[in-house]
Chains A and B, each alone.
Chain A
Amino acid sequence: MDLQYSPADEEFRDEVRTFLEENLTPELRRAGRLATSVYHDHEASMKWQEILRRRGWAAPGWPVEHGGCGWTASQHYIFSRESTIAGAPALSPMGIKMVAHAIIKFGTEEQKEYFLPRILTGEVFFCQGYSEPESGSDLASLAMQAVDDGDDLVCTGSKIWTTHAGEANWMFALVRTTRGPKKQQGITFVLVDMKSPGIEVQPLVMTSGEQIQNQVFFDQVRIPKKNVIGQIDDGWTVAKYLLEFERGGSPASAKLQVQLDEIAQAAANRPGPNGPLLDDPLFAVKLADLRIRCDVLEVLEYRNLARLSEGKNPGTASSLLKIINTELSQDITVLALEAAGPQGLAYQPHATMPGGPVHDHSPPQDGYVSGEAWQAVAPLHYFNDRAGTIYAGSNEIQRNILAKAELGL
């Protein structure tokens, strides 16, 4: 047993580092550094996707014949970790990391040919239409009505919390084609052209003032049956398959470690009760505690990685990791806010790079910022990060899953 990378992995890591060094412009790094949530500035993230695409690295997890890299589990981990450490903007997860896998596994040849290359270039940009006002944690109860009408399904109802519905030109959605005794049956997985008549996107204003999520209203929207993925009435099979990609997958420890490094750096220059805040024992102990949790998370991720490398399914580990990393991430945003001090209470989204427009805020004409940009990011990041324990299956739901599947309760 050891924690070392193999020489081949180290070689790969150096290759990735060189690439990042050469291609990440200061502007792109800025988008990562000033992000206020997991949703990075859309333009920067699309630019980075294009740079990666040209190198053949935009969708490393896809099968090679569709443009994937054929990497080992270790290589995926290294790539993701190094990208984060270097400050690369995060790519939108909805297309490359989610719906593409459903298309690859369940799609027709025609669907693969149309969508996969366009997802890579960004010509097609997806949002995820699962949640409905009355169906959140209980996703399978979803009720968006889809009536069979010749070559089309005609959809009426609404989806909510749809991230980047405003930026997206396609949505993958779950709709109700049949109502039966078992709610998981009768759901259909469809791809929806956002330009279809009858669709209306209404932005939601979140606590941070950012408008990234939306409610999407469907009024008699016609969806051609050729845009169904898998079988009609059997969309739950597709959705369940995708869920694994939403929860497990990308390593979080690197991002969290980088955030702690940034806090430490900032705290070295902030006043504490006796000299720099970083030297205040109360602060230093909290920082140490979070670092310990990060170190341990990294090892948990390696253990998960080792299982995946043996070809095993992540299983309940994805629930466990989701709980650990979202709660750790939230605690890190708390420490950042503490470090920001009084200036962390100023509302200054103009000093940040949010993942969408900001509601009801007119920046000062002279662009004034009280304190530094990281202090402006701190409260917004704290607010937005509360979502981590709510979405992708709330942490209560993950604990229910673990209680049942892992403990047999």
Chain B
Amino acid sequence: MDFTLSAEQSELRSTVSSFLRKRYELEPSRSAARSSIGWQPEIWQAFAEEIGILAATLPEEVGGDGGGAVETMVIAEELGRALVVEPFVSTVVLGAGLLRRAGGSKARAVLEGIASGRERVALAIDEPDSYPSGYEVATSATRAGDEWVLTGTKTMVGDAPLATRLLVVARTSGERRDPAGLSLFLLDFDASDLPADVKVHSYRTIDDRWAADIEFRDVRLPAEALLGEADHAGSLLDPAMDEATAAVCAEAVGLMRKVFADTVAYAKERRQFGQPIGSFQALQHRMVDMHIELERSVSAAYLATLRLGDAPDQRARAVSAAKVTLSRAAKFIGENAVQLHGGMGMTQELAVGHFFKRLTAIQAEYGDADFHRVRYARLSDHRSRAATGEAGVRSGAVAVG
């Protein structure tokens, strides 16, 4: 068992954190997020060219450095701590995860583009009338000769307005709620230059990111737009979604480290009744509870990260355990950081208000706590575990670390 980072991983962490400290300030990043561009392209380019984080976790054959889950965790946590809005998880973790698994020359070209900072990928999966994250998909793709015809509406497609490619999950067979029968399609995309049969409504999200609702009206796609095997997108989506979930858990850890540190510092500095508010025991206990939630969260993020390579059920359970833990902590820490800042916590003047919004949004991303509780329960054979006395995160699979 080992929870220390390797020398390279430590260096990666300090490279990312010192870059962000110098180059990523809250004010300009918020202004960019609220501008019509919505992000800072020059920062993205620096991610690729100066600190190499867009390639760090990609395979070597597409120009990457071959890093794994721990590298992703390290990067995501630092990005969280600086409240980076640029689309790291959706492009480098989820998008690249899907493309890597799908294989093929088209996917490889996009992966090379991701590594060099040219390409950004958004996954279109949720639909307005479907249970989120549940693979409930009504958007359909039907074969017409050599082509596919794509029809349906997607909602809350994260980062779509700044994406160069869309990955669209569509049903090629089965019923609406059937977990099988889904396929993945790769589309060139430019939200500012759309064909007549694609309608896009872009909007800002509550945490200053961008997303879109996208309507496909009988869009004709060439045969090679299909990634991987038809009807089998689930085998790509499951592991890639789990990786993305683990990455946002790590991001949440970074966010919480920052708001927690800010809150403790504020409590030492802010005076009422002639003393620092941090001297009131009611607030001391609250901050200790925040600290406990944070330690729980760090452990849960490790659990998810270190189980990503396991068999599907073990992987999924660990990731669900982490997302449930992180969602609860994000709510507790976010809300109490605001509360302890009093009126100042309600404004956009301090970092805490902005971090609170991201902590709120992250709870719903990649399945909310209820979704993951149910998935964890489904994957836990409570009865036989009780009978065999098997317990703990180390049983039944390879050792941690």
Contact = CB atoms under 8 A, between A and B. Distances in A.
B346 A345 contact: no
B347 A207 contact: yes
Interface in B321-350: 331, 335, 338-339, 342-343, 345-349
Contact of A347 (B206, B364, B373, B374): B206
Given A272-B131, A364-B203, A342 B346 contact: no
Task: List the 6 shortest-distance A-B pairs measured between CB atoms, nearest first.
Answer: A342-B156, A138-B272, A271-B131, A207-B353, A138-B273, A347-B204
A367 to B, nearest CB: 11
A128 to B, nearest CB: 13
Contacts of A205: 347-349
A341 interface: yes
A217 B207 CA distance: 31
Interface in B350-379: 353, 356-357, 360-361, 364, 368, 370-371, 373-374
Interface in B184-237: 201, 203-207, 211, 213
Interface stretch (B37-45, B122-130, B241-249, B295-303): B122-130
A386 B339 contact: yes
B282 interface: yes
Given A207-B356, A396-B282, A161 B343 contact: yes
A370 B156 contact: yes
A345 B361 contact: yes
B131 A371 contact: no
A207 B207 CA distance: 10
A370 B201 contact: yes
Contact of A207 (B156, B205, B271, B346): B346
Interface string B23-44: 0000000000010000000000
A334 B373 CA distance: 18
Interface in A218-237: none
Contact of A390 (B213, B283, B331, B339): B339
B201 A364 contact: yes
A160 interface: yes
A141 B273 CA distance: 8
Interface in A93-137: 131, 134-137
B342 A136 contact: yes
Contact of B346 (A206, A282, A341, A348): A206
Interface residues of B, number: 49
A195 B270 CA distance: 33
Given A206-B347, A345-B156, A345-B205, A383 B357 contact: yes
B283 A396 contact: yes
Contacts, number: 131
A280 B374 CA distance: 11
B280 A386 contact: no
B134 interface: yes
Interface string A154-196: 0000001100000000000000000000000000000000000
A346 B205 CA distance: 4
Given A346-B205, A371-B128, A386-B346, 6 more contacts: A205-B347, A271-B129, A345-B211, A345-B364, A346-B204, A383-B357
Interface of A: 131, 134-138, 141, 160-161, 204-207, 209, 213, 271-273, 277, 280, 282-283, 334, 337-338, 341-348, 359-361, 364, 368, 370-371, 379, 382-383, 386-387, 389-391, 394, 396, 399-400
B155 interface: yes
Given A138-B273, A283-B370, A387 B346 contact: yes
Given A207-B348, A345-B205, A345-B206, A273 B155 contact: no
A343 B128 contact: yes
Nearest to A370: B213
Nearest to A341: B132
B370 A346 contact: no
A394 B344 CA distance: 13
A344 B273 CA distance: 40
Given A271-B131, A342-B155, A390 B348 contact: no
A387 B34 CA distance: 25
Contacts of B335: 386
B129 A273 contact: no
Contacts of A371: 128, 155
Contact of B343 (A361, A383, A390): A390
Of B130, B206, B357, most buried by chain A (CB within 10 Å of CB) is B206
A137 B206 contact: no
B136 interface: yes
A389 B155 contact: no
A163 to B, nearest CB: 11
Contacts of B370: 280, 282-283, 338
Contacts of A368: 201, 203, 213
A221 B219 CA distance: 67
A345 B131 contact: no
19 contacts: A141-B273, A206-B346, A206-B353, A207-B353, A273-B131, A337-B360, A341-B132, A341-B364, A345-B156, A364-B201, A370-B203, A371-B128, A383-B356, A387-B346, A390-B339, A390-B343, A394-B339, A396-B280, A396-B283
Contact of B211 (A346, A361, A390): A346
Interface in B278-317: 280, 282-283
A132 to B, nearest CB: 11
B130 A282 contact: no
Interface string B156-190: 10000000000000000000000000000000000
Nearest to B348: A205
Among B129, B339, B371, residue most surrounded by chain A Cβ atoms (within 10 Å): B339
B374 A342 contact: no
A95 B348 CA distance: 28
Contacts of A360: 34
A329 to B, nearest CB: 13
B30 to A, nearest CB: 9
A379 B205 CA distance: 10
Contacts of B271: 134
A273 B374 contact: yes
A137 B342 contact: yes
A282 B342 contact: no
Nearest to A371: B128
A136 B272 contact: yes
A348 B134 CA distance: 25
Contacts of A347: 203-206
A166 B314 CA distance: 57
A346 B374 contact: no
Contacts of A348: 203
Contacts of B283: 396
